[in-house]
Amino acid sequence: MDVLQLVISGLANGCVYGLIALGFVMIYKATEAVNFAQGDFMMFGAFITIWLTNTDFVGLPFWLSVILAILIMGVFGYLMERIIIRRMFGQSQIAVVILTIAIGFILRFLAGAIWGHDPLSLESPFAGKEVRFGGLVLGADEVAIILVTLLLTGSLFVFFAKTKLGLAMQAASQNQLAAYYMGIPVKRVHGLIWGLSGMVSAIAGILFAAKGAIDPSAGLLGIKAFAAAVIGGFGSLPGVLIGGLIIGLTEPFASRYIAAGYSQIAPYTILLLVLVFRPAGLFAQMQKKKV
């Protein structure tokens, strides 16, 4: 029973990592850029939801503010691409990485200046409730997180694999010039994917804030999401979710069975090991290099 509890809380954590990672893997799939500010997007989405929901602030009904926050973050992501990232079109990957790190710094500062540096938590209808499932008693927030994540990953997978827009996004990533020749509006596709990624990060933020408290430095969680993405192979959506779950499951077990100082290094050790021995991740997309 004890182990099961660890598994469930690990899964719920892993889902949040997976969702953050999902956000930047989507951007990577479609634009070949890596958004190092994804963790900060998540943090910002969470704070917007808290600001809309909590009775100390605006105090809207929960579901209304969730929808509003997702929309706001979608527009935010789209505008981010439109105003800033688009100027970097065609520039090297590392330039975009540095740009997004800078954006992350600014977002963290803004969140701290607006909402303060004290941890806040979301007043969600799941908080403190329980779900009975057979003989099991589970936290409603954890069940919600797992369900939402599975649903979201599934639908995004279908979106990328089956729909016209999803395929256009993948094509735009593989070769921008060739995608232009095939009649794909590459820049508009980029704007849309950043918007979509903003929405996903808002959902991740809402789930994270519903489960525990959040403060402006929570964006650094993005680093753990990198581990998830790398394990999953950086280009595969289900792979990323599994990567997130692996990291999420490792943490509670490591802190349970390994000495205190050593447990928090477990996710990063896994990340390094995967990078060293299987640089393409467990679900490789990398193919043989042609010169």
Note whether 287 binds another protein by CB under 8 A: yes
Among 67, 98, 127, 158, binds another protein (CB under 8 A): 98
Among 74, 139, 216, 252, binds another protein (CB under 8 A): 216
Decide whether 67 or 286 has the Cβ nearer to another protein: 286
User: How far is it, in rounded angstroms, from Cα 272 to Cα 87?
Assistant: 33
Decide whether 3 or 113 has the Cβ nearer to another protein: 113
Among 227, 228, 242, 247, binds another protein (CB under 8 A): 227
Residue 33 dihedral angles phi and psi, to the nearest 5°: -100, 150
Note whether 276 binds another protein by CB under 8 A: yes
The sign of the torsion formed by the CA atoms of 78, 84, 86, 88 equals negative
Three-class DSSP category at 184:
coil
Among 3, 58, 67, 102, binds another protein (CB under 8 A): 102
Structure tokens, 159: 């979106």
Q: Least distance from C-beta 222 to another protein, angstroms? A: 10
Residue 15 dihedral angles phi and psi, to the nearest 5°: -65, -40
Binding mask 173-192 for another protein (x = CB under 8 A): xxxxx---------------
Three-class DSSP category at 209:
helix
Note whether 13 binds another protein by CB under 8 A: no
CB distance 243 to 230 below 8 Å? yes
Decide whether 113 or 127 has the Cβ nearer to another protein: 113
Candidates 5-13, 104-112, 132-140, 195-203: pick the segment binding another protein (CB under 8 A).
104-112
Note whether 257 binds another protein by CB under 8 A: no
User: How far is it, in rounded angstroms, from Cα 172 to Cα 285?
Assistant: 16
Q: Least distance from C-beta 48 to another protein, angstroms? A: 18
Binding mask 106-125 for another protein (x = CB under 8 A): x-xxx-xx---x--------
Provide the phi-psi class of 124: left if phi over 0, else alpha when psi is between -120 and 50, else beta: beta
User: How far is it, in rounded angstroms, from Cα 77 to Cα 200?
Assistant: 10
Q: Please list, in sequence order, all residues whose beta carbon lies within 8 angstroms of the beta carbon of residue 6, skipping any fewer than 6 positions away.
A: 252, 253, 256
User: How far is it, in rounded angstroms, from Cα 155 to Cα 19?
Assistant: 13
Q: Least distance from C-beta 9 to another protein, angstroms? A: 22
Decide whether 143 or 228 has the Cβ nearer to another protein: 228
Q: What Å distances lie between residue 279 and 31, 42, 102, CA to CA?
A: 20, 26, 26
User: How far is it, in rounded angstroms, from Cα 164 to Cα 172?
Assistant: 12
**Binding residues with another protein: total (CB under 8 A):** 56
Note whether 77 binds another protein by CB under 8 A: no
Residues binding another protein (CB under 8 A): 32, 34, 84, 87-88, 90-95, 97-99, 101-106, 108-110, 112-113, 117, 173-177, 216, 220, 223, 226-227, 230, 234-235, 261-262, 264-265, 268-269, 271-272, 275-276, 279, 285-287, 289-291
